[in-house]
Every structure is written in structure tokens, then in C-alpha cells.
């Protein structure tokens, strides 16, 4: 038996924040942001919208595309660093809105690599246990809520959004997931973090204004590490499957920075026409980027059944990884 993606969905909030809007908040310029990151604009959730409100429309669209009812889901896995609340999981809150009553539900936190971690977990669960036939994987983030809008080093980078996909057990031997490589190195925990708001440094009124409840990043260091880590993990899955650069129909990298994506593609000898980019429109939506890309590409007819797609991501933890997919 194999596992296939039978539907995808995505959602981004309506509110557009342009580089010009950011110039009113911090000392930056459209030119700096575009040349250093490739970002023109990003989407920002309203105050009333929590992460599950972004996840819900993405999930509904994925279920519609899969042509199944929410009740058929055996599991819901939510990748997020911005849960609605500490307890219960955002996956449980989503389950309630979807009116599903039988699925297992849990959140998974692997920062920007969250979607790839969640796909690997869902895929392994379907493969190893006949009880699980259909699992919804959602990656959703309201990063605007943990963004320090006075820090020009980070606030220009992030946006809000959600991507979703449904994985289903199939009777055919063909498995869509050809190879996976997931990694983490907690010794780099300090270079990309939100340090306050958990049990180590509980939230206080003073902390809210201090920026310590927001994303802090040593961008230069992350930049260097991200390129080599993504290149290496891409090579791992390609080698494991005997696939060369010319066999890859699409490279779908985590959308953090256009320069990082271009350098990874160059090192892998994948020309830019085969690299999907939407960071210009949405910025970095952490775990959600790859799900949003896949949905846009599949709905837009860019990814066709049978094509080989290489997905790769890198984020806080540090975490990183790649998945080689035959759609
Ligand atoms: N506007 C204008 N100037 C700025 C801005 C800004 N928004 N931000 C920083 N600068 C300045 C800096 O202060 C610095 O000035 P200085 O030389 O006088 O000190 C100068 O620009 C260069 O700063 P660098 O940090 O070296 O800029 P760099 O080219 O590295 O770009 C960036 C910064 C975009 C953050 C880049 O390092 C990057 O993309 N890093 C990786 C991000 C990433 O992949 N994150 C992983 C996932 S995120 C997650 O897990 C949630």
C-alpha cells in the first residue's frame, strides 16, 4: 500500500501590509527589503483571528479538494509555533469547528520545518497502522502576534497564513513520499527564539512591551546555516532515491528569503524556472509556507500527477529537512 496527497488548501488573511507600510513603523526601505529578502508584501491577520481561524478555511478547502467529509478524518496534525492557547491543542480546536468526532488530534512544533515534520509523522502513522486511512495535516501561523513591530531586523520578514493537505492510504504500491530527511540541532536554540511566555520565563505585563515575547533572530548566522543544511538534506533524499537534479520537476523551498532559495537551487543545479517562489507576496509564514506553495501550484496546474517535487525547509530549533514527493 502507499500514501497519496488527495487534496490541498490554503488561506491568507485579507489585510496586506506592504514595505511602504513598514517604512512608517521602522527605519527601513522598500529597496532594502526587496534586495535582501525578495519580499514585497505580507498578509496580517485581524485582531479577532487566531491561528485556528486561519487553519479552518485552509482545512475546508483541502477537504473539498479531496472530496471527503471532515468526519472521515482519522487524524488531524497541526504544525504551529503560534497556537490559539496553551491548552487544548489548536488541532483539537480545529477538529471542533470541522465537526469531526473520531480523529486523534495534536499540535507539533518544529518552527518553519513543521509542515515537513507533520507530513512525515502522518505518513508513518498511515503506513504503520491500518486504523489510520486519512490524516489532515495543517500548518498555520499568526506570526504577527509574536513579531516585534519595532525591530527592523525581524518585522519585515514575517506574515500570517495557513496551508493544509489530506494524506490517504491507497491500495496501490506507489507511495507519494519517496524519501524524507528530518534533522534538528538544539545547540543552536539561541539564534532563533521567542524566549518569554513559557514555563522558563512566564509572561508578565512588563515582558509584553519588552519584545522578549517576540521572535529574535541572528539573521546572518541563520542565513549561513540554512543554505548548507537545506542543500545537504536535499542531497540526502535525492541520493536515497537515486534521483538527480534533472529529475526534479519542482523545488519547493521554505519561503524565508529569496537569496537563500536561489543559493540552495544553484548549489543543487536546479534552474530558477523549477523553483516555486511566493515569498514576495506573503513573506515568511513559518510552517505554513510549503503548504501554501503546494496548494497554489496544484490548483494552478503547475504540479501534475507523477511529477517529482523536492520540498525543503529550515527554522528555529534549529530544525531542517527535506521530503521528496512523487505527486
Ligand atoms: N531595513 C534596513 N536595514 C536593515 C534592516 C531593515 N529592515 N534590517 C537590518 N538592517 C541593517 C542591519 O542593521 C545591518 O546594518 P549594519 O551593517 O549597519 O549593522 C545591515 O542592514 C545588514 O544586516 P544583516 O543582518 O547582515 O543583513 P542580511 O543581508 O543578513 O539580511 C536577513 C538579513 C534578511 C534577516 C537575512 O539574514 C535572513 O534572511 N536570514 C535568514 C532568515 C531565515 O531563514 N530564518 C529561518 C526561518 S524563520 C523561523 O523559523 C520563524
Q: Whose CA is nearest to atom 19 of ligand 1?
A: 153
Q: How many angstroms does the Cα of residue 219 sit away from the middle of ligand 1?
A: 5
Q: Where do the H-state alpha helices sit in the chain?
A: 19-23, 30-37, 51-66, 90-98, 114-128, 152-155, 205-210, 219-241, 258-268, 279-282, 288-299
Fold of 177-326: Peroxisomal Thiolase; Chain A, domain 1 (3.40.47)
Spell out the residues 6+ positions from residue 303 whose beta carbon is closer than 8 angstroms to its own.
249, 250, 294, 297, 309, 327
Q: How many angstroms does the Cα of residue 32 sit away from the middle of ligand 1?
A: 10
Q: Which of 193, 195, 220 to mutate to test the pocket of ligand 1 (most atoms within 8 A of CB)?
A: 220
Is 112 tagged catalytic? yes
- Per-residue confidence (pLDDT) for residue 306, from 0 to 100: 95
- Per-residue confidence (pLDDT) for residue 172, from 0 to 100: 86
**What is the number of the ligand 1 atom nearest to the C-alpha of 112?**
50
Spell out the residues 6+ positions from residue 306 whose beta carbon is closer than 8 angstroms to its own.
326, 327
**What is the number of the ligand 1 atom nearest to the C-alpha of 152?**
7
Spell out the residues 6+ positions from residue 272 whose beta carbon is closer than 8 angstroms to its own.
262, 265
Q: Whose CA is nearest to atom 32 of ligand 1?
A: 219
- Per-residue confidence (pLDDT) for residue 171, from 0 to 100: 87
Give span(s): CATH 3.40.47.10, the chain: 2-170, 177-326
**What is the number of the ligand 1 atom nearest to the C-alpha of 154?**
35
Pick the catalytic residue from 254, 257, 278, 293.
254
**pLDDT tens for each residue of the chain, 327 residues long:** 899 999 999 999 999 999 999 999 999 999 999 999 999 999 999 999 999 999 999 999 999 999 999 999 999 999 999 999 999 999 999 999 999 999 999 999 999 999 999 999 999 999 999 999 999 999 999 999 999 999 999 999 999 999 999 999 998 888 999 999 999 999 999 999 999 999 999 999 999 889 999 999 999 999 999 999 999 999 999 999 999 999 999 999 999 999 999 999 999 999 999 999 999 999 999 999 999 999 999 999 999 999 999 999 999 999 999 999 999
70 contacts 97 by C-beta, under 8 angstroms: no
Q: How many angstroms does the Cα of residue 39 sit away from the middle of ligand 1?
A: 12
Is 284 tagged catalytic? yes
Q: How many angstroms does the Cα of residue 225 sit away from the middle of ligand 1?
A: 14
What is the C-alpha separation between 38 and 289, in angstroms, rounded?
A: 15
Model-level pTM?
A: 0.97
Residue 176: DSSP 8-state: S
Q: Which of 20, 36, 195 to mutate to test the pocket of ligand 1 (most atoms within 8 A of CB)?
A: 36
Is 123 tagged catalytic? no
Spell out the residues 6+ positions from residue 190 whose beta carbon is closer than 8 angstroms to its own.
none
What is the C-alpha separation between 216 and 154, in angstroms, rounded?
A: 7
Cβ neighbours, 10 Å, residue 35 = 11
What is the C-alpha separation between 83 and 121, in angstroms, rounded?
A: 19
Q: Whose CA is nearest to atom 47 of ligand 1?
A: 315
Q: Whose CA is nearest to atom 50 of ligand 1?
A: 315
Q: Whose CA is nearest to atom 46 of ligand 1?
A: 315
Fold of 2-170: Peroxisomal Thiolase; Chain A, domain 1 (3.40.47)
Amino acid at each position: 500500500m502507499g500514501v497519496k496527497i488527495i487534496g490541498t488548501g490554503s488561506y491568507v488573511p485579507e489585510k496586506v501590509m506592504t514595505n511602504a507600510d513598514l517604512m512608517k513603523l521602522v527605519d527601513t526601505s522598500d529597496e532594502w527589503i526587496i534586495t535582501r529578502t525578495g519580499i514585497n508584501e505580507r498578509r496580517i491577520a485581524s485582531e479577532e483571528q487566531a491561528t485556528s481561524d486561519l487553519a479552518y478555511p485552509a482545512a475546508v478547502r483541502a477537504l473539498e479538494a479531496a472530496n471527503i467529509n471532515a468526519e472521515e478524518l482519522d487524524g488531524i496534525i497541526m504544525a504551529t509555533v503560534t497556537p490559539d492557547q496553551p491548552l487544548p491543542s489548536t488541532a483539537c480546536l480545529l477538529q471542533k469547528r470541522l465537526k469531526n468526532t473520531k480523529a486523534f488530534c495534536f499540535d507539533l512544533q518544529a518552527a518553519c520545518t513543521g509542515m515537513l515534520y507533520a507530513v512525515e509523522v502522518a505518513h508513518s502513522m498511515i503506513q504503520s497502522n491500518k486504523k489510520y486511512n486519512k490524516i489532515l495535516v495543517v500548518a498555520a501561523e499568526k506570526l504577527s502576534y509574536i513579531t516585534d513591530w519595532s525591530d527592523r531586523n525581524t518585522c519585515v520578514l514575517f506574515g500570517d497564513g495557513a496551508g493544509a493537505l489530506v494524506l490517504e492510504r491507497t491500495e496501490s504500491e506507489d507511495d507519494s513520499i519517496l524519501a524524507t530527511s528530518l534533522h534538528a540541532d538544539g545547540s543552536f536554540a539561541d539564534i532563533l527564539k521567542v524566549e518569554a511566555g513559557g514555563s522558563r520565563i512566564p509572561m508578565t505585563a512588563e515582558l509584553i512591551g519588552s519584545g522578549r515575547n517576540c521572535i529574535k533572530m541572528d539573521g546572518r548566522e541563520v542565513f549561513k546555516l540554512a543554505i548548507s543544511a537545506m542543500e545537504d538534506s536535499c542531497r540526502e533524499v535525492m541520493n536515497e532515491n537515486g534521483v538527480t537534479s534533472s529529475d526534479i520537476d519542482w523545488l519547493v523551498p521554505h519561503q524565508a528569503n529569496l537569496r537563500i532559495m536561489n543559493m540552495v537551487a544553484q548549489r543543487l543545479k536546479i534552474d530558477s524556472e523549477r523553483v516555486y517562489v511566493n515569498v514576495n507576496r506573503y513573506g515568511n509564514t513559518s510552517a505554513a509556507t510549503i503548504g501554501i506553495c503546494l496548494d497554489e501550484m496544484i490548483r494552478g496546474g503547475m504540479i501534475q500527477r507523477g511529477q517529482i517535487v523536492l520540498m525543503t525547509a529550515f527554522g528555529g530549533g534549529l530544525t531542517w529537512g527535506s521530503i521528496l514527493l512523487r505527486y
